[in-house]
């Protein structure tokens, strides 16, 4: 044992390095063995000293055994030291978290110094790789969130497009039927219009002939009127002549009376003259009744002629009016004929246009069917895209969750994770204290607050959170520079409190209240909002687009009360903040 201790101390003193120990041990053993062999060879050739040489060779062989054991022990102890030093390099893994911020400041042995240097270089490369993975992961998550929003929007619009194209297709079919009916009706009307136009043209010719005949009648009536006027004039002349004859008869009667008187005076001398006078008187007597009859007849005839002239004047006026009416009717009929012809031409054009419209409508219907089919294909592709984006988002979140287990000691990401874990413990302890003080923090009876849009809710713990948790949330927001929110949310998505600028009273304007009155609302409108309050992983980092249109990173750490999942502590920040 003494020899072994001496050998170990000698080896450690003369061969301090691990490689030196190995080389020294091999060299000493080789020297001892070669010396023994040399002594044995000399004993063979020197018989006089053969026995002492063999004894000396045996002693050297015997001494090489404890020497080898001593060197073996020294090598074992040196290896153990080296293994312990290497093991210390990987002693920072705790609870799944690996601290890559380790810096070796110890004075290591020569055997492990190179390993420590290489280990430090390796850690530096890993830290750079982790930072790059984080940055790339966040960039991918942001792009995936934008793509997911675009895909969701496109899917919704595609569904609307399919619905609209279906409506348009149905409307097009109805339009085709209506166009067919209109085309049939138009053709029928066109045929009837053409027939009526032919009839109207015949009627127009007859009307024009009637107008000519009416004109002839008017001319004849005017001629007859002139004849009646002449007859009236002649009757007046005859009446005047009869009056003269009557006057002559009266005078003749007077003359014959005078002649009779004179003949009576002349006695026998005037007897012949008296006879003549008597005859003349008798003639005058006969003429007078005749002239009276003639006068009466002529007066009657004049009366009839006058009445005839008046009636002829009326007939002439009626004939003139009839002629004017017929002429006006002819002109109107002529205009109507023109309108009929134009209407017929328009109907023919309409019929042709409807026929073309029917053809175009069929083409449109075919294209709408193609659009409908394409919309169906796009919808299917969008569903695949949504699934792919969801998968990509999930993989990215898992990757970020994995790299969040590594602490590099550098950058905002590590600072936020470390701060979030400490603040999460503080918030969890406060909720635990509320429950201990009798607050029903697990109340699921969400009572609607009347006249609120967006809808707000009250619970048994809302008032307590407003009193106890709101100051903590506001202080946490001030501590984490650049954060958008640092809040607590229960497992059903109920957000009892929000920061001051976003907890304003309702104004009645839904768009404004959506942005500035966000407390006491339930946020479960998308998968990110559902997952952040329901997951039970140590932490979950998501990237999503809010209802305000912002792209945010949401870091959530679950809160457990008496071992039961209550909700989460959530932090919202812009992606740029995590990759600074």
The pLDDT of residue 474: 92
Rounded Cα gap, residues 192 and 197, in angstroms: 8
Q: Rounded mean pLDDT of 354-377?
A: 77
- pLDDT given at position 469: 92
Please give the pLDDT value at position 536: 93
Q: Regarding predicted confidence, which is higher, 538 or 232? A: 538
Instruction: Please give the pLDDT value at position 7.
Output: 46
End-to-end CA distance of the chain: 63
* pLDDT at residue number 92: 52
**CA atoms of 365 and 351, how far apart (whole Å):** 20
Q: Does pLDDT of 273 surpass 90? A: no
Helix (H) or strand (E) holding 522: strand 521-522
Tokens 């929007």, residue? 153
pLDDT band at 560 (very low <50, low <70, confident <90, very high): very high
Per-residue pLDDT at 103 exceeds 60: no
Any idea which of 150-164, 518-532, 563-577 has the lowest mean pLDDT?
150-164
Residues 6+ apart with CB under 8 A from 376: 162
pLDDT tens string 434-454 = 999 999 999 999 999 999 999
Global pTM? 0.51
Per-residue pLDDT band for 11 (boundaries 50, 70, 90) equals very low
For residue 106, pLDDT beyond 80: no
Q: Of 174-188, 235-249, 372-386, 486-500, where does the model show the most confidence? A: 486-500
Q: Tens digits of per-residue pLDDT, 34-49?
A: 777 776 777 677 777 6
> From the centroid of its chain, how far is CA 295?
108
pLDDT of residue 5 exceeding 50, the answer is no
493: left (phi over 0), alpha (psi -120 to 50) or beta: left
Of 5-14, 246-255, 348-357, least confident by mean pLDDT is: 5-14
Averaged over 179-194, what is the pLDDT? 75
Q: Are 531 and 494 in contact (CB under 8 A)?
A: no
Q: What are the tens digits of pLDDT across the range 54-81?
A: 677 677 777 767 766 766 666 666 566 5
Q: What is the pLDDT of residue 88?
A: 57
What's 500's DSSP letter?
G
Burial class (CB in 10 A: 0-12, 13-18, 19+), 288: middle
Residue 71 CB coordination number (10 Å): 22
- Residue 274: per-residue pLDDT: 67
Instruction: Pick the more confident residue, 281 or 310.
Output: 310
Q: What is the mean pLDDT of residues 155-159?
A: 75
- How far is the C-alpha of 570 from the C-alpha of 530, rounded, in Å? 12
Supply the DSSP symbol for 504. Answer: P
Contacts of 512 by beta carbon, 8 Å cutoff, 6+ apart: none
Phi, psi dihedrals of residue 367, rounded to the nearest 5°? -65, -35
Q: Say how far apart CA 406 and CA 98 lie, in whole Å.
A: 5
Question: Which is nearest to 108 in space by CA: 133, 131, 82?
Answer: 82
Query: What is the pLDDT, as a whole number, of residue 83?
Result: 60
pLDDT in tens, 223-232: 776 777 777 7
Q: Tell me the CA distances in angstroms from 339 to 125, 292, 333, 349, one per residue in order.
A: 94, 68, 9, 15
- Sort 391 into a burial class: Cβ within 10 Å, 0-12 / 13-18 / 19+: exposed
């Amino acid at each position: 044992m003494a020899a072994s201790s001496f050998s170990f101390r000698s080896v450690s003193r003369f061969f301090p390095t691990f490689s030196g120990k190995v080389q020294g041990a091999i060299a000493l053993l080789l020297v001892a063995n070669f010396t023994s062999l040399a002594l044995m060879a000399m004993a063979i050739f020197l018989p006089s000293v053969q026995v002492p040489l063999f004894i000396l060779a045996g002693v050297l062989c015997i001494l090489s055994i404890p020497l080898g054991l001593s060197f073996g022990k020294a090598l074992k102890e040196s290896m153990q030291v080296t293994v312990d030093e290497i093991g210390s390099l990987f002693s920072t893994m705790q609870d799944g978290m690996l601290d890559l911020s380790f810096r070796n400041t110890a004075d290591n042995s020569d055997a492990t110094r190179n390993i420590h240097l290489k280990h430090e270089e390796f850690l530096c490369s890993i830290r750079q790789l982790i930072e790059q993975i984080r940055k790339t992961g966040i960039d991918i998550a942001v792009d995936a969130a934008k793509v997911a929003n675009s895909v969701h929007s496109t899917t919704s619009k595609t569904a609307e497009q399919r619905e609209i194209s279906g409506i348009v297709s149905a409307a097009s079919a109805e339009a085709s039927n209506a166009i067919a009916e209109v085309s049939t009706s138009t053709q029928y009307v066109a045929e009837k219009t053409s027939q009526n136009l032919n009839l109207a043209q015949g009627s127009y010719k007859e009307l024009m002939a009637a107008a000519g005949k009416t004109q002839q009648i008017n001319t004849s009536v005017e001629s007859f009127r002139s004849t009646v006027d002449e007859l009236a004039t002649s009757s007046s002349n005859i009446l005047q002549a009869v009056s003269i004859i009557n006057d002559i008869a009266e005078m003749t009667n007077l003359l014959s009376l005078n002649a009779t008187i004179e003949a009576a005076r002349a006695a026998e001398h005037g007897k012949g003259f008296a006879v003549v006078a008597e005859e003349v008187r008798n003639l005058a007597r006969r003429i007078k009744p005749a002239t009276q009859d003639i006068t009466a007849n002529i007066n009657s005839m004049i009366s009839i002629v006058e009445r005839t002239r008046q009636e002829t004047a009326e007939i002439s006026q009626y004939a003139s009016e009839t002629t004017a009416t017929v002429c006006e009717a002819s002109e109107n009929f002529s205009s109507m004929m023109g309108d009929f012809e134009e209407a017929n031409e328009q109907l023919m054009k309409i019929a042709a246009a409807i026929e073309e419209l029917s053809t175009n409508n069929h083409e449109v219907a075919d294209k709408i069917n193609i659009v409908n089919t394409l919309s169906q294909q796009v919808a299917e592709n969008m569903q695949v895209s949504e699934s792919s984006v969801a998968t990509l988002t999930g993989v990215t979140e898992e990757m970020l969750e994995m790299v969040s287990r590594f602490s590099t000691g550098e950058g905002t990401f590590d600072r936020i994770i470390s701060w979030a874990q400490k603040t999460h413990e503080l918030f969890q302890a406060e909720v635990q204290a509320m429950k201990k003080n009798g607050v029903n923090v697990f109340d699921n009876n969400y009572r609607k607050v009347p006249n609120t849009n967006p809808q707000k809710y009250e619970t048994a713990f809302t008032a307590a959170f407003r009193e106890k948790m709101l100051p903590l949330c506001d202080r946490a927001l001030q501590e984490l520079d650049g954060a958008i929110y640092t809040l607590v949310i229960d497992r059903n998505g109920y957000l009892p409190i929000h920061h001051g600028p976003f907890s304003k009273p309702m104004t009645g304007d839904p768009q404004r209240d959506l942005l500035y009155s966000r407390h006491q609302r339930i946020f479960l409108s998308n998968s990110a909002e559902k997952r952040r309050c329901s997951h039970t992983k140590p932490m979950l980092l998501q990237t999503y687009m809010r209802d305000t249109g912002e792209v945010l990173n949401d870091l959530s750490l679950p809160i457990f009360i008496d071992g039961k999942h209550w909700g989460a502590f959530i932090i919202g920040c812009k992606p740029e903040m995590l990759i600074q």
